[in-house]
Amino acid sequence: MRTQVAIIGAGPSGLLLGQLLHKSGIDAIILERQTGDYVLSRIRAGVLEQVCIDLMDEAGVGKRMHEEGLIHGGFDLLVDGQRHRIDMNKLTGGQNVMVYGQTELTRDLMEAREAQGLPTVYSADNVQVHDFDTDKPRVTYEKDGQTHTIECDFIAGCDGFHGVCRKSAPRSAIKEYEKVYPFGWLGMLSDTPPVHHELIYANSPRGFALCSQRSLTRSRYYVQVPLTDKVEEWSDDAFWNELRLRLDDEANEQLVTGPSIEKSIAPLRSFVTEPLRFGRMFLAGDAGHIVPPTGAKGLNLAATDVKYLHNALKEFYEEKSEAGIDRYSEIALKRIWRAERFSWWFTQLMHKFPDDGEIVSKFQRAEIDYLLNSESGQKTIAENYVGLPLDFGQ
Ligand code: RFL
Ligand code: PHB
């Protein structure tokens, strides 16, 4: 088999890249280790920046997102029982975010790919990348007991944090930066109306909590938990009780509880790989970097990496120029580090750090007090939350 771009991974970054390349007349095959249903069963992100919304439109798959997505112009910070609204729309001169689940975005991309007859191999085992230091890279995989080879011009590593592409880069050519946080997020999805029409990020003496949503009838809640906690040990009742203890009276009056549809614990990590290009192999999305979810940036960064990569590949094929692929890593990393910084900062501000003692929670409160009483402080939060434009001065 031969293709122009072999994409590893059918998560949001691989699927979006496939769609953008197709629009530009560039062939791609996607190889995915899991089944399509499994990919769709992973409950993850929920908040899209405007640049991500625009990219879904550019890929021609934005119709359902615009019909069902919920536009949010602000969110609340809850600290010591007091709610403060960050009016993102006003503070950024009219920008918003959209609540639309990663599952739905992935489904839209998968369906468009299938309708256009574009090749995706699901349940591809033992994917391996070869010869990406030459201009004739290859990818091999196993399916139904047979080994297959794809010859290609480029390999796009869109295979997430545990994928094979980053691990295949020569150790001497790669540098990895990592910070692991001493807690995780226990998330719960339920078919109950959201507690509030916008998101609530809470810093409480018992730890962080987040009230999010997927629709007007489906809620997504998170509570900070120790890394040693096991999801099986958390009954639905225990989750609701803990959430209540971290919210204010008004939220508790509105809170509608019900059975969980999904519950899981995610560890929190900041992680960046430099560079994102190894010869003819590129990393995009979680394969190259991870943010703690507090800033709602992971999926959005995956989308913008893919946009930069698409532009670079288009330039290569249309203008026979390598300038774009040569700059991909530098341009993408500049935006990635900005989002990494915001996600780290917001995580530090809003969580309880078990080893840091009371003085650090006093610092957090003083910082929040400062931010909320300063228009430029609020603007800083709002500007970062709605996301940077694609070309912010690279
Ligand atoms: P994914 O989604 O991990 O997809 C990678 C795909 O590659 C496949 N794969 C392989 N395929 C073939 N061969 C191999 N050897 C392979 N190894 C792996 C995998 O099966 C998978 O299908 O990476 P991608 O596409 O880069 O997308 C990244 C996003 O999924 C991620 O950044 C976000 O979910 C992060 N995130 C959030 N991002 C936001 O922008 N806004 C949010 O509100 C938000 N909330 C979250 C989040 C992530 C969370 N978790 C679970 C970490 C909330 C949570 C709780
Ligand atoms: C979510 O809805 O899953 C979500 C929303 C905002 C975040 C993280 C996760 O910051």
* Ligand 1 site-directed mutation target among 72, 121, 129, 299, most atoms within 8 Å of CB: 299
Residue 43 pLDDT: 86
Residue 394: pLDDT band with limits 50, 70, 90: low
Q: Is the CB of 156 under 6 A from ligand 1?
A: no
Name the residue at shortest CA distance from atom 7 of ligand 2.
296
Residue 300 pLDDT: 97
Q: Identity (one letter) of the amino acid at 167?
A: K
Residue 391 pLDDT: 85
Q: Is the CB of 220 under 6 A from ligand 2?
A: yes
Query: How confident is the model over 281-290, as a mean pLDDT?
Result: 98
Residue range 146-198, pLDDT digits in tens: 999 999 999 999 999 999 999 999 999 999 999 999 999 999 999 999 999 99
Active site residue 72: yes
Average pLDDT of the chain to the nearest whole number: 97
Q: Please state, in angstroms and rounded to a whole number, the distance separating the CA atoms of residues 192 and 391.
A: 39
Residue range 33-52, pLDDT digits in tens: 999 999 999 988 899 999 99
Report helix angle 12-23 to 298-319, nearest 10: 30
Residue range 355-367, pLDDT digits in tens: 888 999 999 999 9
The reported pTM is: 0.96
Active site residue 201: yes
Decide if domain 5-72+97-178+268-352 falls under CATH 3.40.50.970: no
Residue range 90-148, pLDDT digits in tens: 999 999 999 999 999 999 999 999 999 999 999 999 999 999 999 999 999 999 999 99
Q: Please state, in angstroms and rounded to a whole number, the distance separating the CA atoms of residues 59 and 56.
A: 5
Listed by start position, the domains of the chain span: 5-72+97-178+268-352
* Ligand 2 site-directed mutation target among 222, 342, 344, most atoms within 8 Å of CB: 222
Query: How confident is the model over 382-391, as a mean pLDDT?
Result: 93
Residue range 54-76, pLDDT digits in tens: 999 999 999 999 999 999 999 99
Active site residue 221: no
Q: Please state, in angstroms and rounded to a whole number, the distance separating the CA atoms of residues 328 and 342.
A: 22
* Ligand 1 site-directed mutation target among 129, 210, 221, 286, most atoms within 8 Å of CB: 286
Residue range 196-221, pLDDT digits in tens: 999 999 999 999 999 999 999 999 99
Q: Residue 393 pLDDT more than 70?
A: no
Kindly provide the b/e burial profile for residues 355-374, where b requires at least 16 CB atoms within 10 angstroms of the residue's own CB. Answer: eeeeeebeebeeebeebbee
Residue range 241-255, pLDDT digits in tens: 999 999 999 999 999
Residue 354 pLDDT: 87
Positive or negative, the CA dihedral 22, 24, 25, 26 is negative
Nearest CA-CA partner of 305 in 100, 4, 7: 7
- State how far Cα 32 lies from the chain centre: 18
Query: How confident is the model over 2-26, as a mean pLDDT?
Result: 98
Instruction: Give the number of the atom of ligand 1 that is nearest the alpha carbon of residue 286.
Output: 26
- Given the residues 297, 307, 310, 351, the one annotated as active site: 297
Q: Please answer whether residues 265 and 120 qualify as being in contact, where contact means their C-beta atoms are separated by less than 8 angstroms.
A: no
